[in-house]
Amino acid sequence: MAKVDMNSLTQHLQGRVGDMVFRRVCGQMQAVLRPRTLRRPPPTSDQLAQQAVFKEALNYAKGALADPETRVVYEAAAQAKNKDARALAVGDFFRPPTVQKVDMSNYNGRVGDKIAIMADDDVAVRKVEVKVRKSAGTVLEEGPAAPLFDGWVYTATTAVAAGTNLIIEVTAVDWPGNKGVKNQLYP
């Protein structure tokens, strides 16, 4: 790239002249070689699939920012992270939430016992669902966890006989609908 001194001959140059392109950048005239067009092979099926997924992410971001409820979530996260809300929505589409911890220290198989859950997402966890199953697979109870401070809490609705082996399945869901699942054995 060459910098061009402004004089009566060059001050009005703009665009392509032969193999040179003249343009103004930050008030200075620059001369660069014209970019060559590369002959690229057609995209592979994997590349086309990735492009389709990315297009889906862009469509999600567009729809999410058009919805007032979702827009508030992404704009608040964007302001806190000093990023663009659209970029956060696209990134959120690709990253599922994680269930970091399932604390069953206050759960003894009685009605009203609490299961504390820590779930995290790059933007926000929308909801947390809990299933309590016997080890054979029979579902004893299921339902949503309630948000509590910086975590979630599930209140048991079914009494379980002492000594019964259980699987506590916790599913965190983010705004695009991605799911993160963690299973915890009880006792």
What is the rounded average pLDDT of the residues 55-59?
96
Extents of the domains making up the chain: 2-33, 45-94, 98-186
- CA-based nearest residue to 123, from 145, 92, 152, 146: 92
CA angle 181, 185, 187 (to 5 degrees): 150
Place of tokens 């005239």: 29
pLDDT in tens, 69-82: 999 999 999 999 88
Q: Which of 119, 123, 121, 184 is nearest to 145 (CA)?
A: 119
H helices of 67-186, where? 68-81, 85-94
Model confidence over 110-123: pLDDT tens digits? 999 999 999 999 99
Model confidence, pTM: 0.73
Query: Could you read off the pLDDT of 21-51 as tens digits, one per residue?
Result: 877 776 677 778 877 777 889 999 999 999 9
Q: Is the pLDDT of residue 11 over 70?
A: no
What φ, ψ does residue 7 adopt, rounded to 5°? -145, 180
* Averaged confidence pLDDT in the chain: 88
d(CA 182, CA 168): 8
150-176: pLDDT as tens digits: 899 999 999 988 888 999 999 999 999
Select from 2.30.40.10, 2.60.40.1220, 2.60.40.10, 3.90.1660.10 the CATH code of 98-186.
Answer: 2.60.40.1220
